[in-house]
């Protein structure tokens, strides 16, 4: 089963860190990727640009309108994700405990649509 590890950081965090802090954070993520690889856990992941650069589509008057703000106002923003394949929620949580935490990690099962 696949689980998304949704990574959150304080809003504006990555724009405020020093080059050394950025390098250290990237090394933490590289170490997490090595951990997953060494355990043979299939995974993928990406980092997101700041939420200020996002666009949200919302239903409006029988159609859709664009809003240049995140869907839910938060003090943290969705900063990236890993998609891991594992046996269940307990294993997904154990794996997530090795991931750099930032402001928090949400572990969410991925819904597989039958073909």
Domain 2-109 has CATH 3.30.70.1060: yes
As a three-state string, the secondary structure of the chain is: CEEEEEEEEECCHHHHCCHHHHHHHHHHHHHHHHHHHHCCCCEEEEECCCHHHCCEEEEECCEEEEECCCCCCCCEEEEEEEEEECCCHHHHHHHHCCCCCCCEEEEEECCCCCC
CB count within 10 Å of CB 36 equals: 21
Task: Tokens for 59, please give them.
Answer: 């239903």
What pLDDT score does 50 carry?
81
**Which pLDDT does position 69 carry in this prediction?**
61
Residue 14: the pLDDT is 84
What pLDDT score was predicted for residue 13?
A: 86
- Sequence-separated (6 or more) residues with CB below 8 Å from residue 48: 54, 77, 78, 79, 80, 81
**Spatial distance between the Cα atoms of 102 and 59, rounded to a whole number of angstroms:** 32
pLDDT per residue rounded down to tens, the chain (115 residues) = 999 999 998 888 888 999 999 999 999 999 999 999 999 999 999 988 887 777 777 778 888 887 756 555 667 788 899 999 999 999 999 999 999 988 889 999 998 777 7
């Amino acid at each position: 089963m696949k689980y998304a590890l949704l990574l959150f950081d304080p809003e504006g965090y990555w724009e405020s860190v020093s080059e050394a802090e950025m390098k250290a954070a990237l090394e933490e993520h590289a170490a997490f990727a090595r951990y997953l690889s060494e355990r043979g856990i299939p995974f993928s992941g990406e980092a997101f640009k700041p939420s200020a650069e996002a666009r949200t589509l919302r239903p409006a008057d029988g159609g859709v309108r664009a809003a240049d703000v995140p869907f839910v106002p938060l003090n943290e923003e969705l900063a990236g994700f890993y998609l891991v394949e594992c046996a269940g929620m307990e294993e997904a949580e154990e794996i997530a405990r090795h991931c750099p935490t930032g402001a928090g990690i949400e572990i969410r099962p991925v819904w597989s649509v039958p073909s």
